[in-house]
Structure 1
Amino acid sequence: MIALLLALSLATTAATAAPAPMQGDQLEQVVLLSRHNLRAPVVASGALANATPERWPGWDVASGELTTKGGVLEVYMGRYIGQWLRQTQLLPPSDCPQPGDFHAHANSLQRTQATAQFFVAGAFPGCHVAVEQRMPLGTMDPLFNPVIHRDDAAFRARAVSAMQQALAATDLAPALSVVEAITRYPQSAACSAHSDCRLALADTSFSAAPGNEPRVSGSLALASGLVDALLMEHYQGSGIPREGWGRLNTEVQWQALAQIRNRYQDILFGTPEVARDVAGPLLARVDALLEDPASPKVSLLVGHDSNIGSVLAALGITDYTLPGQYEKTPIGGLLQFERWRDLGAGEVRYRLVYVYPTREQLRGSIPLTDAQPPGRVELVLPGCGQSGCSEAQFENLLHSP
């Protein structure tokens, strides 16, 4: 709580800045699609607990919940984005936002609802801004539920085939060996009945059942879960002096772990046809918000890495890097769908920007300021120029079959 109060104090007083708008352009509307911030991994029991003979570090919150540090980090991001929205004159320079200025909607899990609340606390300190929650806490809101919607055998077959081909195109064996060495997987309870127990992709299988997330079973799923837990511990930082039980200490190892985590996301949610199906509800919401003149100037949608990954893949954006980050969809990162107007020509342009905390900012709880800004990568939308998309081009992207 002391750390959180300090974060709120810093967010209220620190002068933050973001890139100024381009001369002659006016920002008219922004839709923010965010991943929740730092959460506790699921390591107390089950497959991850049995996959290593070591004891996982304890956490001060339940598995999957936003941590206190995650709240601090999100306050920093909220403050930074709020200041940028005022600098661009999209929001008034003072006073609390009105319903026509800002609206927040988060998935109905603790970590997403709490992330949105902390973002609001940073962006609008002292203001009473509600966060929409459409389902009972602990259940998935259909808007953010990354499930397969199509119910036909041909689509399922194509989806599974695409995932299999994506897996075959990547050599993950060296990276899996790194995970084995760090976790001592061959000596774990999961291997107690096997003489030669390894993480190998030969046991991997996929499914794309309607009403369920695209799924993978076997070593790839287990390795991705182990990497996720190690990443969350890395970001948590304090109280974990020896990462990976003292066996995770080189950049080469981290790059191997990142390869597993990123390929896991790409394989499940990054194949084009699967991505368009899974991301359909969110893309429709973004489209509706940007099309409706009655929409708030700023809309915040807080979900998960699978939401961001599938949306980017559905838009045709797969080849991008985020300097200073291991993950392609890092915690606390957000996509900014921006609608700009050229005040001279009157033309509207749409731009997409990825704003995210770097791994150093996450681990060090570094406030986001003009001197220490978050990472910011302008993504080039397919078929559009460096200045963004025209209205027709953007509509074509959103409605790509």
Structure 2
Amino acid sequence: MKTSLYASLLLAGLLSPPAIAQTASSDGYVLDKVVQVSRHGVRPPTESNEKLLTRVTQRQWPTWLVPLGNLTGHGYAGAVEMGRYRGQVLRTAGLIPKGCPDARQLLVHASPLQRTKATAQALLDGMFPGCGFQPTYVAGEQDALFQANEMPFAALDPAKAKAQILKALGGSVEAAQERYNPFEEKLREVACLPAADCPYGKQPWVLEENAKGRFSIKGLSAGANMGEVFRLEYSQGLPLDKVAFGNARTPAEVSSLMVLTKAKYDFLNDIPYIASRGASELMNQISLELKQGTTFASKDPQGTPPDVPLMLLVAHDTNISYLRTMLGFGWKLGDYLENNIPPVGTLQFERYKEVKTGDYFLRIAFEAQSMDQIRNLTRLDGTETPLKGDFASAKDCRKTSVGLLCPLKEALVKVDQNIDPTALTPYSFQ
């Protein structure tokens, strides 16, 4: 893992982070800590998805200029802009200084895939241009924060997982496929040439368990991946006659082809038990970071992250969907379908302190560029801002100039409520 000298000293306890001048909002709140979890930027389909879609549609799909699954140049530029905007917001709030901050004020850690590492670098380049900061990441392809759902310590009880999946399906896979048949037919019309022997949509859905104890729905996967690829084509800026083979010329039309993408998440990711097993490790580190510097802080025998003003974690939509489910947080942003997680979509945990009382509050929000903002690489500013939705994590939340703020003590109950202590493993950012 790459780690700066300052970060190493801080983690070793030899140095303390320098103080940053804090700026109170007009109604008296100071932002003093942010943890954000961002999805990677625009990429082509992965190699396995490309092979699947080519096979089921018997059709050539658009050619991308980077290896399958990797962040594109357009995706990098979109992430830089999101980073620039977030940096501007955090500087205005006084969380980070102008120019290049001390490296000890940051923890930027990415999932170890190319698209996440490159997105983390893009966000850093946007937030801190010319500062030369680099993200950290583990060696190899698995990090317990981001790939817990593929690792033994977070293994599923197959019977329990299957029962919850079947409940979400409405009792049976067959009944669910029947409900979604009109959407399969629509995708078939879009992706299959009339005269071709196109197998898409003819396969019965089958709930399968893989060797690692994780579940998928064979038959649904192709349609789910297809909708995501159409969105990526539009976001990448491909000519409109290439997006969904010329059948999606607006964000709303793209989203209409993503109903099966959402269904896959509804049936496999947004399942409380599966989400808790897959993201307890990540949620636990977020919780520990949010408690640092308050009376709720504690040392965790599994490992406690360094106390920094800004923790930026770059992950995958699967990670964010698990966290969303654990929180019970839902959103509907612009033309996206409900709970959609666009490229560089970010789940934000912002801790504020009320100046007059010294009480702490937490804002939990999801923020993402619109489909057209990503496609057009729109500059984000005071008039052209990302889409966002706030989460009421407690009963006594209050609307403020900085968003919906909830008492930290009660909000942390919501953050911690679905952390499964049996799905945790020792972790260190060193």
Q: Is the 8 A contact 1:156 1:208 kept in 2?
A: no
Q: Is the 8 A contact 1:34 1:333 kept in 2?
A: yes
Q: Is the 8 A contact 1:332 1:356 kept in 2?
A: yes
Structure 2 distance, partners of 1:267, 1:54, is 28
- Equivalent residues in 2 for 1:88-167 (5 A)? 88-92=93-97, 94-136=98-140, 139-147=141-149, 155-167=157-169
C-alpha displacement at 1:58, in angstroms? 0.4
The match for 2:363 among 351, 355, 363 is 351
The residue aligned with 1:174 is 182
C-alpha displacement at 1:185, in angstroms? 7.6
Question: Which deviations, in whole Å up to 9, do the C-alpha atoms of 1:80-117 show, x marking residues without a partner?
Answer: 0000000001111x231213322200011110000000
Structure 2 distance, partners of 1:150, 1:394, is 30
Q: Is the 8 A contact 2:33 2:350 kept in 1?
A: yes
What TM-score results when the alignment is normalised by the length of structure 1? 0.84
Relative to structure 1, the CA distance from residue 150 to residue 53 in structure 2 (aligned partners, 3 Å threshold; closer, same or farther) is closer
C-alpha displacement at 1:219, in angstroms? 1.4
What TM-score results when the alignment is normalised by the length of structure 2? 0.79
Question: Which deviations, in whole Å up to 9, do the C-alpha atoms of 1:190-247 show, x marking residues without a partner?
Answer: 63xxxxx6346x42204387x55x4313211111111122111111123453422233
Q: 3-state DSSP class of the match of 2:108?
A: strand
Q: 3-state DSSP class of the match of 1:261?
A: helix
Letter in 2 for 1:115: T
Structure 2 distance, partners of 1:359, 1:251, is 6
The residue aligned with 2:58 is 53
- Equivalent residues in 2 for 1:1-400 (5 A)? 21=25, 23-42=27-46, 46-92=51-97, 94-136=98-140, 139-147=141-149, 155-168=157-170, 171-184=179-192, 191=199, 198-199=201-202, 202-207=204-209, 211=212, 214-249=214-249, 253-293=253-293, 295-317=307-329, 319-326=330-337, 328-381=340-393, 383=395, 385-386=397-398, 387-400=404-417
Question: Which deviations, in whole Å up to 9, do the C-alpha atoms of 1:241-268 show, x marking residues without a partner?
Answer: 3422233457775343222112212221
Query: Identity across aligned pairs (percent)?
Result: 26
Structure 1 distance, partners of 2:210, 2:333, is 29
Relative to structure 1, the CA distance from residue 223 to residue 185 in structure 2 (aligned partners, 3 Å threshold; closer, same or farther) is farther
Superposition misfits of 4+ residues, deviation over 4 angstroms: 148-154, 185-190, 249-253
Task: Note the residue ranges of structure 2 that are not aligned, 5 or more in a row.
Answer: 1-23, 294-305, 399-403, 419-430
Relative to structure 1, the CA distance from residue 356 to residue 255 in structure 2 (aligned partners, 3 Å threshold; closer, same or farther) is closer
Question: Which deviations, in whole Å up to 9, do the C-alpha atoms of 1:38-94 show, x marking residues without a partner?
Answer: 0111368521111213211100001100000001001100000000000001111x2
Question: Which deviations, in whole Å up to 9, do the C-alpha atoms of 1:131-163 show, x marking residues without a partner?
Answer: 101123xx1222111516688999321211211
C-alpha displacement at 1:377, in angstroms? 1.4
Relative to structure 1, the CA distance from residue 301 to residue 185 in structure 2 (aligned partners, 3 Å threshold; closer, same or farther) is farther
Structure 2 distance, partners of 1:383, 1:187, is 58
Relative to structure 1, the CA distance from residue 204 to residue 254 in structure 2 (aligned partners, 3 Å threshold; closer, same or farther) is farther
Residue-pair matches, total? 370
C-alpha displacement at 1:186, in angstroms? 8.3
Letter in 1 for 2:310: V
Q: Is the 8 A contact 1:316 1:382 kept in 2?
A: no
Q: Is the 8 A contact 2:240 2:246 kept in 1?
A: no
Q: 3-state DSSP class of the match of 1:48?
A: helix
Q: 3-state DSSP class of the match of 2:257?
A: helix
Structure 1 distance, partners of 2:210, 2:25, is 43
Letter in 1 for 2:182: P
C-alpha displacement at 1:165, in angstroms? 1.9
Q: Is the 8 A contact 2:320 2:347 kept in 1?
A: yes
Structure 1 distance, partners of 2:107, 2:193, is 46
Q: Is the 8 A contact 1:339 1:350 kept in 2?
A: yes
Letter in 1 for 2:207: S
C-alpha displacement at 1:343, in angstroms? 0.9
Letter in 1 for 2:414: L
Structure 2 distance, partners of 1:39, 1:185, is 25
The residue aligned with 2:428 is none
Letter in 2 for 1:29: K
Single out whichever of 44-53 and 371-380 deviates more from structure 2: 44-53
Q: Is the 8 A contact 2:370 2:386 kept in 1?
A: yes
RMSD: 2.6
Structure 1 distance, partners of 2:241, 2:132, is 39
Structure 1 distance, partners of 2:258, 2:25, is 33
Q: Is the 8 A contact 1:78 1:123 kept in 2?
A: yes
Question: Which deviations, in whole Å up to 9, do the C-alpha atoms of 1:153-195 show, x marking residues without a partner?
Answer: 993212112112212386322111111111118866663xxxx
